[in-house]
Structure 1
Amino acid sequence: MRAMRDRFTVVGRATGCHLFEGDGTRPIDEENVHVKYTPRRVEFPEEIAGWRRAIEVEEERKEAAGLPHRWNNARFAVERVVVTRTHLAEVPVVSLTLRDADYFDFLTTSLNLDRRQRNGRTLREQYLEGRDPADAPSWMNCSFGINVALETGKDGKMLFSRRSALVAGPNSARWNSSANEGMAQQHDLPGDGGPVSLHAVARRAIYEELAVHDGDRTRVELLGFGLDLVNHQWAAFFRAVAPGLDEAALRLRWTRGVTDKWEHDRFEFVDANPESVLGFIADEPEGRWTPCAPTLFYLALVRGAVERAGGDPSGRFAVEEAEQEIVSARSL
């Protein structure tokens, strides 16, 4: 039996996130991320397929009645994530294999992880606990989220976004990354047959949710990959720095319209230094955070500290020292 994945710990709290790759000290180069897509649908076991049909019927009923409903769209399922290192420089190379799924597929598992099957076991018990959740079958992995921590370069702020209660799923009404986007075939599968770009999805996320445009010259870096052990969702962690933006400029833009404005109901701008960011995380109750958001912001802090240290990885110790002071001061 394989051991469970460890949980990322910050400000004295063990989160529900496993950091699969990355430590924030260096970005993963875009050319070293290889995404392979196979146009073949996931296949549910018979009983689970029945759960999916019930979701589809119910959402169609609500739509026909003019009631609020969830609409389906083509997404991706994660078949596997493999990380290797280059021979000489030993930089990470990530291979991500995807196949077809849709939003109702995602709801089928994400909303039913603790629902008992006829065999008496839940999906969590059968496929995740007591084994490596990273090896779960692809039909259990019908979501891949791009999570971005945005920093405003003009005033040096880190942006925290709280997901709206209108958003489906277990993370509604919780503090999350600045922008979070599930990959969708309609938006992220290139029409010319080229490979899926995680960096392009990250840029789409900050545009659609935060109105950060390509013209803002935002620098986007991939810092790592994680696995939400509570809701069983894969995630990519990005840091984005917009040099010409500040809090006032972004808030003014939001009053003039945002493509996906409904996804968040509150924003907080915090000074982008370890003391302030980690203090904000510590001062908000643990239950108000999504499982992977604290991991993302910690990695972003480490990356910023390493940059300020001229690229020296030991710059991360400034973040660790700030964390120790916060834990001590708050008796965490």
Structure 2
Amino acid sequence: MRDRFTVVGRATGCHLFEGDGTRPIHEENVRVRYTPERVEFPEEIGAWRRSIEAEEERKEASGLPHRWNNERFAVDRVVVTRTHLAEEPVFSLSLRDADYFDFLTTSLNLERQQENGLTLRKQYLEDRDPAEAPAWMNCSFGVNVALETGKDGRILFSRRSAQVAGPNSARWNSSANEGLAREHDLPKDGSPVRLHAVARRALYEELAVHRTDKLGLELLGFGLDLVNHQWAGFFRAVLPDLDEPTLRLRWTRGATDKWEHDRFEFVDADPESVLGFIADKPEDRWTPCAPALFYLALVRGAVERGNGDPSGRFEVEQAEQSVMSARGL
């Protein structure tokens, strides 16, 4: 029911819900509403969750590797509108309470047959619009960041560590990404969740980008991972005063979540180099939404070089055609 973002001849597992990279979604136009009420599973699905919780508790008690639970959010509703005069995009996100075991309950069982004979994927994601799935199917919202070093004009690709649980382990991904978590992202003063603040947290925890570093941060769009059914926000971050050697040196001195990635690749930030890197990696070694994120970042860079002219996006399309022609795609 939802089209799939296509790049270098590959149809990815990502639906681009909002944004084309030509203009950012301003922070004041991102409206996050939170209802402190927990998602409720149907009785059968709730039993699956209890089984997951019991198994992880058993492994923990036995001193075995296990997944730990943490408080997260479920996506209740996503609405995109426009401002009255300038017609700028306005994104409204409604959240409620969930946790990591809630997320595992659905993400690990999308192909599991229910008593009615249907899988979760078939019933909620294929027979109806996946963007309208019930909240208990939406226990993950991730912020994904494409990072560019302004000093040497490089863009960063990160490969998820095999130690990270889930279907995206050992795959090439965004520069940094974080799932919304109540402990970290729900302000104690009662103010709304801020997706830009989550993006900054991702940069700090995974890439050691500190609040004192000069940073240009723009929200470019939103996507829906149709393979794993996860919502994603797409950010472009530019560090004008940093370069690859500086960041790599920082990583040797430690980062909060250094273990989440096992490899980094910096690529020249021009469209042909970035799209060539995407094309040269096997298709199944990419997370579903990473190629869409980097494409939007390329478009935004091209539009900026063209003094804001949205037709700059065609520079990226031309580079894509060149990459495909050179590789016979």
In which range does the TM-score fall when normalised by the shorter chain?
over 0.9
Q: What residue is the counterpart of 1:306 in the other structure?
A: 303
Determine the C-alpha separation between the residues in 2 that align with 1:257 and 1:330: 39
Counterpart amino acid of residue 319 in structure 1: V
Q: What residue is the counterpart of 2:265 in the other structure?
A: 268
SS in 2 for 1:316: helix
Determine the C-alpha separation between the residues in 2 that align with 1:314 and 1:152: 24
- Note if 1:283 corresponds to 2:241: no
- Note if 1:78 corresponds to 2:75: yes
Q: What residue is the counterpart of 1:150 in the other structure?
A: 147
| Deviations 1:88-134, CA, capped at 9 Å, x for gaps | 11000011000000000000000110011111110000100032100
Q: What residue is the counterpart of 2:291 in the other structure?
A: 294
| Deviations 1:275-313, CA, capped at 9 Å, x for gaps | 100000000000000000000000000000000000110
Q: What residue is the counterpart of 2:226 in the other structure?
A: 229
Counterpart amino acid of residue 94 in structure 2: T
- Note if 1:201 corresponds to 2:198: yes
Q: 2:21 aligns with which of 9, 21, 24?
A: 24
Counterpart amino acid of residue 5 in structure 2: F
SS in 1 for 2:212: helix
Counterpart amino acid of residue 313 in structure 1: P
Counterpart amino acid of residue 324 in structure 2: V
- Note if 1:41 corresponds to 2:71: no
Unaligned runs of 5+ in 2: none
SS in 1 for 2:201: helix
SS in 2 for 1:216: coil
Determine the C-alpha separation between the residues in 1 that align with 2:113 and 2:258: 36
Q: Give the alignment's TM-score, normalised by structure 2.
A: 0.99
- Note if 1:322 corresponds to 2:329: no
SS in 2 for 1:39: strand
Determine the C-alpha separation between the residues in 2 that align with 1:130 and 1:311: 41
User: Pairwise mapping of residues 102-117 of structure 1 onto structure 2 (< 5 A)?
Assistant: 102-117=99-114
Determine the C-alpha separation between the residues in 2 that align with 1:140 and 1:218: 35
Counterpart amino acid of residue 291 in structure 1: P
Worse-superposed segment, 139-148 or 127-136: 127-136
User: Pairwise mapping of residues 33-182 of structure 1 onto structure 2 (< 5 A)?
Assistant: 33-182=30-179
Counterpart amino acid of residue 241 in structure 1: V
Determine the C-alpha separation between the residues in 1 that align with 2:328 and 2:5: 19
Q: For the aligned residues, what is the CA RMSD?
A: 0.5
Determine the C-alpha separation between the residues in 2 that align with 1:305 and 1:214: 27
Determine the C-alpha separation between the residues in 1 that align with 2:284 and 2:304: 32
Shift of 1:6: 0.3
Shift of 1:217: 1.2
Determine the C-alpha separation between the residues in 1 that align with 2:62 and 2:127: 43
Worse-superposed segment, 189-198 or 116-125: 116-125
Q: What residue is the counterpart of 1:192 in the other structure?
A: 189
Determine the C-alpha separation between the residues in 1 that align with 2:197 and 2:119: 36
| Deviations 1:45-71, CA, capped at 9 Å, x for gaps | 011001000110010011111111110
SS in 2 for 1:215: coil
SS in 1 for 2:72: strand
Counterpart amino acid of residue 45 in structure 1: P
| Deviations 1:213-259, CA, capped at 9 Å, x for gaps | 11111111000000000000000000000111111000000000000
Shift of 1:147: 0.2
Q: What residue is the counterpart of 1:211 in the other structure?
A: 208
Q: What residue is the counterpart of 2:217 in the other structure?
A: 220
Instruction: Give the count of matched residue pairs.
Output: 329
> Which 4+ runs in 1 deviate beyond 2 A?
none
Determine the C-alpha separation between the residues in 2 that align with 1:62 and 1:246: 43
Unaligned runs of 5+ in 1: none
User: Pairwise mapping of residues 241-260 of structure 1 onto structure 2 (< 5 A)?
Assistant: 241-260=238-257
Determine the C-alpha separation between the residues in 2 that align with 1:273 and 1:130: 40
Q: Give the alignment's TM-score, normalised by structure 1.
A: 0.99
